[in-house]
Chain A
């Protein structure tokens, strides 16, 4: 399929020719920039005239480097333009090399290279803009840190849960073991017909910590002994002093209907 299309770019001035471009049926790749797969037959390439013009406009050959400040860097391998990372890396390397060479040249010429830290002048981006940039960079850093922290917390929680589960299992096992050992002891005692005294009976036990069986005396851990704010059972109500206390039997004003709104 061949299509003859008039060149859409408007040509200016003395150019009055219309170019017909033949496009092959298979067109290629990228969405922004499509290239013809075979070169258009009507492409002009006037090398001599180009070089002529180059000679016209170029500065004299022995203009010092300080005027052009240009450096040619060798680009080793073909850069794939669609791979953003390698492309940018290639440009960065080119700039890096160029700067190094320029620095050496400038140093050999004895010229100042970098801005001293106390040199204040107008910059190409305003301070406001740089503030925004800084804000954004900080925000990004904070987001990353928060994500890290959240991930760590999640991991830690998972670990802690595992450890907790293990501990519970351990405790249950221990409890079962204890109960089993008591049952065994009782059976033993039954079997030997309660003939032993209590002295010997203690030897049959299998305690880990060596203490006798204890029960806490209603003491709560973490609560001081002088704390009277316990359950109602802990309070003494009907004592000798309260016999003559009749405050509660008088008719209190407005104490009747609790439901009435005040």
Chain B
């Protein structure tokens, strides 16, 4: 059972309230595909991923980035029971898509970096700690 302090809940809700899902989601997924190119294998049906420019202008990547963030939004709204909230998503990612769980962490790291770039100095070490704890719980809930 994950225990959240009131302060952690506040930090995480604050991040989501300031987040532009249509901007951060695509950026995070684009970065993961560019910085960790092996992740592209999971998106073979998305068309042109040949180089950074192609990835950044690919509409399917952008759309999926938004989907990912809405998924995280669900976890934020059910912070005390992320494991069950993600039961179907976990089966999808592990049984159907066969995603190597380490890649969830890589996407999470890219999202952290994108959020850091938009929040600047308000992304303090305390906020970062709460945010990364949240993402770690999400990643753990997604893996088998």
Chain A complexes with chain B: no
Q: Residues of B at under 8 Å CB distance from A?
A: none
Q: Residues of A at under 8 Å CB distance from B?
A: none
